[in-house]
């Protein structure tokens, strides 16, 4: 087995223009954090207790069992090692790699819902148990018939004032809860979203704390039907489940009552906003923006390293085969996603800081930031997960045939991460939520109101510049202005389209539906403007080391220019950009790719994913791809014996029969 680094990768690293550690530090927030991250990762990756056979060689049941064992062990070790709450994600991502785990919903949604939706008395009652994993919960909202339309949920929680209980029921097949992670086999509690009924009146979906399995033998409690929904596209390591209730009674105190309340006599106390009950989803959407940047960074790391190791064809007759990354078409596949990974990494950080500031404000009773937070997180969640999806698949195809093997790590990454476009709010639906906010803001600006936050730019309509002027299409100010103009124009045009549909006689819902393609386009343009502007603003950080600001600027330019060329019609349509500008942009892309080429490996190294987290034979840090491909294939269960038992069962008689008939 080769212990040395592949010479091509070695040369790539020697020739880069900067020290990747400096970018790593920038991406993670300083050298101290990077040090902590590396310590925790190496602790997890070198722990023999976490070792197991490759998941790709396992059935769904084995994957679930392996991951359950591993995650429970992780919880115990996190406690023993006294890892700070803020640092746990480093340890966790080294333990689970790119796989979801059966406790993900407990940590990612059940606990956050208790923090965000429970009253102080309820926190006193349940938080200690939940934080210490004495109970395990999930977030049971989606039903077989409704995921998107929460107001259409069918599960009922009917208040009975005589006993001061809620009666939980699943009235139809379509009301079965369907999909919640960790529900199938693991959880004994859930936060249940159900329609609240008091004295025959419906009050809409509310969260309830419901025990579903016995704490003694883990059997479903009386009236509860629960199980696993079966194999999925990915997510083999998680028991996504179904759940139904037949007249299950829970105490009044089990409705989460930080905002809405039901008094013992059945009096309903309204929350400051009904949408506060959706708070956990907003938090997870913000997390998905962070995650999308990381996922894309992983895919691009694998494909870029492999593209430097892989040699193919003759560029010049008689010359050695070039590294495939030297083909400009290969660079055009990968570098825009390399740039996008950086763009979304930084967007994720901004999104989280907006989330933290706004949610602090909201928890103190000031809900004014809620609409902006919802609109921003919905749009960025949708944009980032869509780009990550397309990027992961592009990276897989850029690895040729070997990309299709599970050895590349890319099919599993894709299968586990692609539902980010569906869960926590289906992407089109999320873009339409953002569009709703944009329309409202735009109309407010027409009434003369001053807008703030991410929509402030809608107040001032930018004029289309006079023809004949020249622009420097590499100037980040020029690029941001172009994205801003496009977003403002598309918001304006969607609003005009809506108004025209209304004037043509449609009612508001039909007009909205008729204009929805334009509305999504406007929300997309708004979100893309936010990403480009955020990237450019981060580069103005005066503490940024000059040796890395050049290369980061190139990435930012590439990200903006690539989006501009891909959507050139939007920029050209009203004459804001000219054909000359777009032609110039295309030429700059080629020049930028040539400049980025020597730094490509250093730029992916800077993401700092250890091999144990990447889990890819093609993306190995040492580039020793071929020997490990062979070793990996040899470990496949079909290779345990030279002659498989199916030969004796099927192939042998078949061949013998055919030979006998000759």
Ligand X SMILES: Cc1cc2nc3c(=O)[nH]c(=O)nc-3n(C[C@H](O)[C@H](O)[C@H](O)COP(=O)(O)OP(=O)(O)OC[C@H]3O[C@@H](n4cnc5c(N)ncnc54)[C@H](O)[C@@H]3O)c2cc1C
Binding to ligand ST9 by residue 440, rule CB under 6 A?
yes
What Rg value do the Cα atoms of the chain yield, rounded?
A: 27
The binding track of 404-433 with respect to ligand ST9, each residue x by CB under 6 A or -, is: -------------------xxx---x---x
Residue 282 Cβ, how far from ligand X at the closest point, in Å? 14
| Residue 548 contacts which entry, ligand X, ligand ST9, none (Cβ below 5-8 A, type-dependent) | none
Query: What does the alpha-carbon distance between residue 474 and residue 214 come to, in Å, rounded to a whole number?
Result: 63
Residue 160 phi, psi dihedral angles, 5° rounding:
-115, 100
343 interacts with, out of ligand X, ligand ST9, none, CB within 5 to 8 A per kind: none
Beta carbons of 391 and 341 less than 8 angstroms apart: yes
HEC assignment per residue over 49-109: HHCCCCHHHCCHHHHHHHHHHHHHHHHHHHHHCCCCHHHHHHHHHHHHCCCCCCCHHHHHH
Residues numbered 380-419 forming contacts with ligand X, rule: CB under 6 A: 419
Tell me phi and psi for residue 211, to 5 degrees. Answer: -85, 135
Query: Which residue from 97, 102, 112, 147 is in contact with ligand X, where contact means CB under 6 A?
Result: 147
Helix (H, G, I), strand (E, B) or coil at 474: coil
User: Which of 323, 445 has the CB closer to ligand ST9?
Assistant: 445
Tell me the window of 20-28, 137-145, 446-454, 550-558 that interacts with ligand X (CB under 6 A). 137-145
Cβ count near 57 (within 10 Å): 14
To ligand ST9, the closest distance from the beta carbon of 259 in angstroms equals 12
Residues touching ligand X, count (CB under 6 A):
22
Report CA-CA distances (Å) from 617 to 142, 402, 406, 614.
37, 10, 9, 9
Residue nearest to ligand ST9 (CB): 108
**Please, what is the minimum distance in Å from the beta carbon of residue 145 to ligand X?**
8
Residue closer to ligand X by CB (options 183, 302) is 183
Residues 225-264 that bind ligand X (CB under 6 A): 235, 240
CA distance readout (Å), 375 to 285, 356, 419, 606:
11, 15, 20, 32
Q: Quick one: how many helices (H) and strands (E) in the chain?
A: 25, 11
String of DSSP letters for 395-453 = HHHHTHHHHHSGGGSHHHHHHHHGGGGTTTS-HHHHHHHHHHHHHHHHHHHHTTPPP-G
Rounded Cα gap, residues 340 and 333, in angstroms: 12
User: 3-class SS at 204?
Assistant: strand
Residue 426 makes contact with ligand X by CB under 6 A: yes
Q: Residue 71 burial (CB < 10 Å; 0-12/13-18/19+)? A: buried
State which residue, 151 or 311, has the beta carbon closest to ligand X.
151
Triad 262, 264, 267: Cα angle to 5°: 50
For 1, other C-beta atoms within 10 Å of its C-beta total 6
**Strand 201-211 vs strand 189-198: parallel, antiparallel, or unpaired?**
antiparallel
139 binds ligand X (CB under 6 A): yes
| Kind of pairing between the strands at 224-228 and 241-245 | antiparallel
198 Cβ contact partners less than 8 Å away, ≥ 6 residues apart: 158, 159, 262, 266, 268
- Smallest distance, ligand ST9 to C-beta of residue 295, A: 13
In the complex, the smallest distance separating the C-beta of residue 440 from ligand ST9, rounded to whole angstroms, is 6
Helix (H, G, I), strand (E, B) or coil at 47: coil
- Tracing tokens 């591993």 back to the chain, one arrives at 70
Nearer to ligand X, 2 or 517 (CB): 517
Of residues 53-112, those binding ligand ST9 (CB under 6 A): 78, 88-89, 92, 104, 107-108
According to the binding rule CB under 6 A, does residue 374 interact with ligand ST9? Answer: yes
Which CB atom, from 93 or from 568, has the smaller least distance to ligand ST9? 93
Q: In which residue are the tokens 């020249």 written?
A: 470
424 catalytic residue (yes or no): yes
Q: Considering only residues 90, 176, 179, 342, which one is a binding residue for ligand X as defined by CB under 6 A? A: 179
- How far from chain centre, in Å, is Cα 184? 23
* 41, 424, 501, 573: the active-site residue: 424
User: Binders of ligand ST9 among 172-211, rule CB under 6 A?
Assistant: 181
CB 571 to ligand ST9: min, Å: 29
Name which of 97 and 619 has its Cβ closer to ligand X.
Answer: 97
Identity of the residue, 277 or 600, whose beta carbon is nearer to ligand ST9 in the bound complex: 277
Residue 404 interaction partner, one of ligand ST9, ligand X, none, beta carbon < 5-8 Å per kind: none
The one segment of 49-57, 273-281, 442-450, 592-600 that binds ligand ST9 by CB under 6 A? 273-281
Stretch in the footprint of ligand ST9 (CB under 6 A) among 148-156, 241-249, 408-416, 511-519? 148-156
Residue 142 is labelled as binding a ligand: yes
The reply, when asked if residue 181 is annotated as ligand binding, is yes
**Binder among 16, 273, 428, 443 for ligand X (CB under 6 A):** 428
Q: What is the distance between the alpha carbons of residues 60 and 70, in angstroms, rounded to a whole number?
A: 15
Q: State the Cα–Cα distance between residues 68 and 348, nearest whole angstrom.
A: 29
In 10 A of CB 472, how many CB atoms? 12
- The residue among 283 and 330 lying less far from ligand ST9, judged by its C-beta, is 283
Q: Which position among 25, 71, 113, 141 is part of the footprint of ligand X (CB under 6 A)? A: 141
| 3-state secondary structure at position 183 | coil
In the bound state with ligand ST9, the residue whose beta carbon lies nearer, of 287 and 304, is 287
Which string of DSSP letters, residue by residue, matches 410-425? HHHHHHHHGGGGTTTS
Element (H, E) at 244: strand 241-245
Which entry of ligand X, ligand ST9, none binds 434, CB below 5 to 8 A by partner kind? none
Out of 432, 551, 596, 604, point to the residue binding ligand X (CB under 6 A): 432
Q: What is the contact surface with ligand X in residues (CB under 6 A)? A: 105, 139-142, 146-148, 179-181, 235, 240, 419, 422-426, 428-429, 432
- Positions at the binding site for FAD: 142, 181
- Positions at the binding site: 142, 181
**Residues designated as active site:** 424
Q: What is the contact surface with ligand ST9 in residues (CB under 6 A)? A: 78, 88-89, 92, 104, 107-108, 139, 141-142, 147-151, 181, 275, 278, 281-282, 284, 287, 370-371, 374, 423-425, 429, 433, 436-437, 440
């Amino acid at each position: 087995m080769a212990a040395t680094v592949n010479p091509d990768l070695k040369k790539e690293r020697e020739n880069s223009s900067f020290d990747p550690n400096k970018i790593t530090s920038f991406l993670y927030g300083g050298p101290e954090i990077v040090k902590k991250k590396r310590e925790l990762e190496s602790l997890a990756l070198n722990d023999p207790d976490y070792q197991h056979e490759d998941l790709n060689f396992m059935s769904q049941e084995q994957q679930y069992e392996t991951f359950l064992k591993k995650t429970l062990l992780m919880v115990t070790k996190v406690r023993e090692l006294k890892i700070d709450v803020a640092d746990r994600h480093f340890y966790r991502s080294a333990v689970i790699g790119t796989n979801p785990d059966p406790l993900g919903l407990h940590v990612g949604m059940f606990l956050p819902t208790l923090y965000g939706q429970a009253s102080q008395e309820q926190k006193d009652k349940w938080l200690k148990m939940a934080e210490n994993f004495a109970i395990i919960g999930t977030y049971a909202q989606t039903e077989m018939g409704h995921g998107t339309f929460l107001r259409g949920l069918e599960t009922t929680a009917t208040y009975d004032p005589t006993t001061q209980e809620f009666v939980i029921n699943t009235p139809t097949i379509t009301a079965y809860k369907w999909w919640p992670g960790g529900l199938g086999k693991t959880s004994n509690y859930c936060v249940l979203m159900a329609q609240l009924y008091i004295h025959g009146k419906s009050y809409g979906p509310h969260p309830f704390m419901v025990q579903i399995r016995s704490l003694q033998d883990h059997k479903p409690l009386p009236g509860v039907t629960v199980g696993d929904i079966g194999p999925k596209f990915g997510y083999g390591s998680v028991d996504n489940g179904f759940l139904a209730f037949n007249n299950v009674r829970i105490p009044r105190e089990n409705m989460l009552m930080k905002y809405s309340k039901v008094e013992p006599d059945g009096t309903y106390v309204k929350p400051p906003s009904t949408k506060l009950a959706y708070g956990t989803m907003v938090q997870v959407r913000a997390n998905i923006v962070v995650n999308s940047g990381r996922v894309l960074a992983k895919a691009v790391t694998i494909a870029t390293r492999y593209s430097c190791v892989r040699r193919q064809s003759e560029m010049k007759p008689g010359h050695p085969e070039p590294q495939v990354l030297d083909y400009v078409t290969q660079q055009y596949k990968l570098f825009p996603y390399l740039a996008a990974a950086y763009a979304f990494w930084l967007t994720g950080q901004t999104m989280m800081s907006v989330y933290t500031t706004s949610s602090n404000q909201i928890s103190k009773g000031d809900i004014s930031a809620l609409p902006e937070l919802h609109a921003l997180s919905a749009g960025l969640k949708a944009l980032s997960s869509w780009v990550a999806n397309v990027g992961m698949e592009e990276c897989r195809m850029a690895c040729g045939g070997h990309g299709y093997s599970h050895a590349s790590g890319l099919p599993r990454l894709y299968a586990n991460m692609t539902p980010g476009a569906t869960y926590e709010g289906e992407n089109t639906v999320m873009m339409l939520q953002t569009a709703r906010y944009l329309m409202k803001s735009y109309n407010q600006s027409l009434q003369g109101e001053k807008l703030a936050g991410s929509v402030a730019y809608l107040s001032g309509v930018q004029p289309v510049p006079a023809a004949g002027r020249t622009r420097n299409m590499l100037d980040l100010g020029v690029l941001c202005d172009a994205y801003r103009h496009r977003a403002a124009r598309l918001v304006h045009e969607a609003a005009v389209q809506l108004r025209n549909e209304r004037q043509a006689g449609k009612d508001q819902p039909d007009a909205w539906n008729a204009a929805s393609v334009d509305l999504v386009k406007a929300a997309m343009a708004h979100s893309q403007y936010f990403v480009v502007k955020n990237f450019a603003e981060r580069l103005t950080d005066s503490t940024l080391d000059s040796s890395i600001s050049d290369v980061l600027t190139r990435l930012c330019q590439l990200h903006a220019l690539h989006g501009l060329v891909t959507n050139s019609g939007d920029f050209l349509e009203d004459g804001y950009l000219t054909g000359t500008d777009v032609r110039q942009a295309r030429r700059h892309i080629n020049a930028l790719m040539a400049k980025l080429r020597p730094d490509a490996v250093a730029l992916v190294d800077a993401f700092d994913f250890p091999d144990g987290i990447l889990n890819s034979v093609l993306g190995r840090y040492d580039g020793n791809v071929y020997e490990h491909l062979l070793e990996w294939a040899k470990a496949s269960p079909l290779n345990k014996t030279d002659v498989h038992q199916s030969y004796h069962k099927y192939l042998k008689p078949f061949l013998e029969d055919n030979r006998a008939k000759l």
